[in-house]
Amino acid sequence: MVACALGGAAWAQTAPAPAPAPAASAANPSAPAPARAASAPPAAQVPAPAAAPAADAPQQIVVEGRGLNDADIRRDATVGMTVVGRDELDQHGDTSVLDVLQRLPGISLDGDMPRLRGLGGGYTLILINGEPAPPGFSLDQLAPGDIERIEVIKGPTAEQGGVAGSINVILRSAPKLRTREVRAALGYRALSPQGSTTLSWGDRIGAIGFQVPLTAYTWANAGEGRVERVSRPVGSTRREDRVSSQDEWRGGGVNFTPRLDWKLSDTDTLNTQLFLQRNESRNLTRRGTEVLVGTPVTTVAERSASRGTWEMQRLQGQWVHKQADGGRLEIKGSAQSTLSRSWGQWQGRNALGAQTAQRDSLNGQRERRLSQSGRWRQPFGETHTLLAGWEVEERHRRELRRLFEDYGSGANERRDGSLGRPYVAEVLRQVVYAQDEWLPDPAWSVVAGFRGERQRSTVTGQGEHVEASHGALLPIAHVRYAFDARSKRVLRVSASQSLRAPDASLLLSRYSFNGNYERDQANTPLAADSAGNPGLQPEKATAFELAFETQLPAGGVLSLGAFHRQIDQLIRRRIALESVPEAPVPRWVSRPANIGTARSTGFEFEIKGRARELLAGWPGPASALQLRASLSLYRSAVEQIDDPDARLEGQPPWQATLGFDDRVARTGISYGASFSMTPSFSTAQTDRQRIWRSAVRRLDAFVAWRVDGQLQFRLAANNLFPIDAVSRSSVADLDGFTASTASRRSAVAQVTANAVLRF
């Protein structure tokens, strides 16, 4: 068993070591900042001494400084990044991390999963304290009150990969002074009220500091959907049906994330953090099927009820040693366990209300993870700093799906496909990296290095045993040029390579039936069964970035950027009609495959600042109105698909955000709004298969009242004027089969009131 620990961006929780150039961000140590010359105040501001001091009088020198704020970290970083710190989190008072992310440029949401530059599904790394978020974890279950800051890095670094980049959520660290805080929220979205409560206590006793946050939360939501399906199998007649559904989701959970910092000496620090989470869910779905054209079906009404639990335990430890020559050594370790269990029951009835079938399901999944990592940062010479490190991670995952038919009249467990057979995966990942941070002069920062990755996966299930391994040496280079001594205008250029390994579960054939069609019935390409592919290879991305950023006089920022990525061995699902041993009739089956090369190019624009510096003639020089806007344009293509819409999965042509924040002078009242939009677009998955998604528009607004430094109230409305989500899928002449599906899912608004008390 390999003992392991945290890697990569988890260094975010510690301050950079003293060096010729301080690190731009602890989460991004590959970003040195040019040294800044100290500037003396103007002569006119220096009062003349009343009398000359005595020759032997001691002279006192006072040095004043401040820590880096969010704008400083962003400005000094070699890699483009966005930082949302504690001040901004408190200003908006969001009750969900997703509300924070959807305001940021270049980030969109696919359900509860954020996507950088329109890319999700493993392209965007989601990290908690620098470690990958576990399976089943949702950022929506993490309270902003538990967060120190969020770092969005737009590209791979030597310490962290990520084809599109990474989103690193740093939990709160021990404070320097005593802090006690209570946060309470109550809201409504559908079905019933939902709420959350967070209690946080932080203090420092001698050399030991601690932070103890506890959060409890509930949720409730509902939705309605309608699906219309049309199919025409080869040599058969046309069939049309309509399926209407009503869904309900309820649940609740608790988070406990205590942290302890112990300063052992002037050179050594020990940090530990525990992250415990548990939630329970209860879901209910009702469906009705109406046949418009074709042979009637036996089951016209369905009811599905399920309940489940998900829990996680994670323990992290870190030892930091500072050397007298400015070097810094960090050793980290972590252990994590997640457990997911669910129970479900499905019942079908005919037009007369008589039960036609019943199925009961039991599903379980457990994953254990160990990691160990180290990082050494050492300045040498006048202008160089060496950064080197390693990471070893071991994961063990076990899943079991069980299905019982007609449970009430006698258990009849199905053991076909992936049912009734355990699935076991073991993954060993090893990483080494090194880079040189070179400051040839105060204007230039050059980072050049490599990241070596190796992964070995062993998967067992359904009578199969598959072993796969891959490795690569990935070069990374970043250049930053400051046009002025204060780094108000900065140019960044990057070139890098990164890997995206397939999930271990995709390496097994592991046949799974589509629940819309019985196993003895022929399904359609749009309701295909799924299976894996033991021959899958990892995707390899080569990226180039160019960005210009300028700081506006009143603290705003204007940023222009462009990027290009080439992804080799692109993984995409292909659908084919197969004769499979699990079914008596041929079935349409979807399997992942490496299909070739894809390219993605984009342009990004961001501007934010005070209205009086962005809009000429804006009244009131003391106006606190802050404006922000962003626009991202994307164009992607898959070489092996001859279609102008052969884009990367889920990447829209463009996305835009607009927003403002303002304060009412001398009242403590602030208010603001955010608007985001993504257009409708079509994606050609293959030469004969296409998916269309409707436009997404979201408007959020809030008003807050800061009574004093201890008490604050906030009222927020999310997804005002909701619009239904519409999608269409179609296949044309796929082995003679033509089919289409159109679905509509309702959306709801949410209103939340919260209060924060600090004492």
CATH number, residue 619: 2.40.170.20
By three-state DSSP, how is residue 404 classified? strand
Distance (Å, whole) CA 235 – CA 241: 19
Kindly state whether residue 73 falls inside one of the protein's structural domains.
Answer: yes
Instruction: Tell me which residue of 530, 527, 475, 466 sits closest to 497, measured CA to CA.
Output: 475
Distance (Å, whole) CA 349 – CA 244: 15
pLDDT value, residue 323: 92
Question: What would the two tokens of residue 47 be?
Answer: 């009062």
Distance (Å, whole) CA 154 – CA 557: 17
- Count of beta carbons in the 10 Å neighbourhood of residue 65: 4
Q: E strands along 512-651, which residues?
A: 529-530, 539-551, 557-578, 587-610, 626-638
* Bridge partners for 290 per DSSP: 242
Distance (Å, whole) CA 245 – CA 226: 6
Instruction: Tell me which residue of 26, 104, 118 sits closest to 649, measured CA to CA.
Output: 118
**Number of compact structural domains in the chain:** 1
Question: What would the two tokens of residue 543 be?
Answer: 């990226």
Dihedral of alpha carbons 408, 413, 419, 423, sign? positive
By three-state DSSP, how is residue 504 classified? helix
* Bridge partners for 166 per DSSP: 125, 153
**CB contact set of 250 (below 8 Å; sequence gap of 6+):** 191, 192, 218, 219, 220, 221, 281, 282, 283
Q: E strands along 294-383, which residues?
A: 301-322, 328-349, 355-380
pLDDT value, residue 45: 37
**CB contact set of 139 (below 8 Å; sequence gap of 6+):** 96, 97, 98, 101, 112, 114, 126, 133, 169
3-state secondary structure 138-169: CHHHCCHHHEEEEEEECCCCCCCCCCCEEEEE
Kindly state whether residue 411 falls inside one of the protein's structural domains.
Answer: yes
Dihedral of alpha carbons 131, 136, 139, 141, sign? negative
Buried b (16+ CB within 10 A) or exposed e, 138-155: bbbbbbbbbbbbbbbbbb
* List of the chain residues with pLDDT < 70: 1-68, 93, 407-411, 620-622
Kindly state whether residue 298 falls inside one of the protein's structural domains.
Answer: yes
* Bridge partners for 193 per DSSP: 188
Kindly state whether residue 736 falls inside one of the protein's structural domains.
Answer: yes
Q: What is the separation of C-alpha 526 from the centre of its chain, rounded to a whole number of angstroms? A: 28
HSE-up (13 A, CA, CB side) for residue 582: 23
Kindly state whether residue 39 falls inside one of the protein's structural domains.
Answer: no
Q: What is the separation of C-alpha 190 from the centre of its chain, rounded to a whole number of angstroms? A: 25
Distance (Å, whole) CA 97 – CA 101: 6
pLDDT value, residue 516: 79
Kindly state whether residue 468 falls inside one of the protein's structural domains.
Answer: yes
Kindly state whether residue 46 falls inside one of the protein's structural domains.
Answer: no
Give the domain extent around 88. 8-32+65-758
pLDDT value, residue 161: 82
- Could you tell me where the DSSP H helices lie in 223-320? none
Residue with structure tokens 């203090």? 203
Residue with structure tokens 């800061």? 706
Length of the chain: 759
Distance (Å, whole) CA 738 – CA 278: 45
Residue type, position 383, single letter: T
Angle, alpha carbons 511-514-520 (nearest 5°): 85
Residue with structure tokens 């932080």? 202
pLDDT value, residue 25: 40
Contact 617, 563 (CB under 8 A): no
Distance (Å, whole) CA 184 – CA 753: 8
- Count of beta carbons in the 10 Å neighbourhood of residue 53: 9
Kindly state whether residue 41 falls inside one of the protein's structural domains.
Answer: no
Instruction: Tell me which residue of 301, 283, 281 sits closest to 291, measured CA to CA.
Output: 301
Contact 714, 185 (CB under 8 A): no
